[in-house]
Amino acid sequence: MQQNEIQELQGKIREVSAFIQPLKTEIGRILVGQEKLVNRLFLSLIADGHILLEGVPGLAKTLAVKTIAQALNGSFSRVQFTPDLLPADIVGTTVYNPQEHSFSVKKGPVFANIVLADEINRAPAKVQSALLECMQEKQVTISGQTHPMPHPFLVMATQNPIEQEGTYPLPEAQVDRFMFKLKIDYPTRDEERLVVQRMAHPEMKLRALSVATLADIEKAREWVDKVYIDEKIVEYILDITVATRPGRRAELSSRQTEAKLEGLETFIEYGASPRASIYLALASKAAAFLEGRAYVVPQDVKNIAPDILRHRILLSYEAEAESLGPDDIIKRILDELRTP
């Protein structure tokens, strides 16, 4: 792409992405802190991905997605996953009408623009797979009839890292369908003081104003696809993904001959799938769009890589023995690989 073409594209992207700042301002009026969570929610919306979130209760996960839905004037639903939940409880079922002697479809709570799947690992595999089918195929089949999901469609699933009794861990193949896996922590003391001042009122019911529309998100998706990503950055993305795969170091590009990745293979059982490369490219373009840029820079890739790779690397017993986590492995890969 020529320089003048990039400059022309830059102007258009700044114009199309102008709705982001009022949206952030309105969300900040309701939500204290959690900037990273809000940023990743924006990225997921405009890159057509989903989020798996790990964090203790009470960190404003529900408030965050509900506030974004209100600010976009979109529909929101929350499903509390429990061991006795059935697939029909989330996707819907057919109901018989005795007066008309006919069946009609009653759609489930999954038919919303933003769906919060709370504690997804508390439900059996059939329920998990029903939700993940909605995420992947963007449709639901009820009694032989296919029903498309609304647009845009975002699922944020949560997992409680504290209590693991009575849970059904998501299989690796299902976890791989989430674009991001985020780990959120407690707010800082100053942030928590603002939370108390803002929320510790019995009658307080904060509601976000509608400052953007779902059409803005749909239009943003079209322009995210036009964001320029250089071939060198694509090669860098492939290098990152290949570096997570045991026995595949020979496939690294010629620019990475000096990368000191010896010993990593003993810590990784299975590496990232091709979805990681796809999502790294997509999310990098979305990150550039959010900043009003028409092109991807290497730092975009570095910023999002941990959240995209964290749940796609299965560590070995050697890594556990040395108390190494996926983030430690990813950090070493990003530090050692040469940046374009």
Label residue 203 by pLDDT band (50, 70, 90). low
Q: Are strands 76-80 and 114-118 parallel, antiparallel or unpaired?
A: parallel
pLDDT surpassing 90 at residue 168: no
In this prediction, residues 41-58 reach a mean pLDDT of 89
- Give the pLDDT confidence score for residue 320 in this predicted structure: 86
Q: Which residue has the higher pLDDT, 94 or 304?
A: 304
The topology under which CATH files domain 227-336 is: Helicase, Ruva Protein; domain 3 (1.10.8)
Instruction: For CATH 1.10.8.80, list the domain ranges present in the chain.
Output: 227-336
Label residue 35 by pLDDT band (50, 70, 90). confident
- Give the pLDDT confidence score for residue 204 in this predicted structure: 67
Residue that the structure tokens 């001042």 belong to: 197
Q: How far is residue 196 from each of residues 35, 142, 167, 184, 205, measured CA to CA in Å?
A: 18, 45, 32, 19, 14
Class in CATH terms, 22-196 = alpha beta
Phi-psi region for residue 144, left (φ > 0), alpha (ψ -120 to 50) or beta?
A: left
What percent of the chain is predicted at pLDDT more than 90?
46
pLDDT in tens, 95-134: 888 887 788 888 899 999 999 999 888 888 888 888 888 8
Is the dihedral angle over the CA atoms 279, 284, 290, 295 positive or is it negative?
Answer: negative
pLDDT in tens, 3-21: 788 888 888 999 999 999 9
Instruction: For CATH 3.40.50.300, list the domain ranges present in the chain.
Output: 22-196
In this prediction, residues 182-209 reach a mean pLDDT of 82
Label residue 252 by pLDDT band (50, 70, 90). confident
The whole-model pTM stands at: 0.89
Contact yes or no for 77/122 (Cβ under 8 A): no
- Give the pLDDT confidence score for residue 291 in this predicted structure: 92
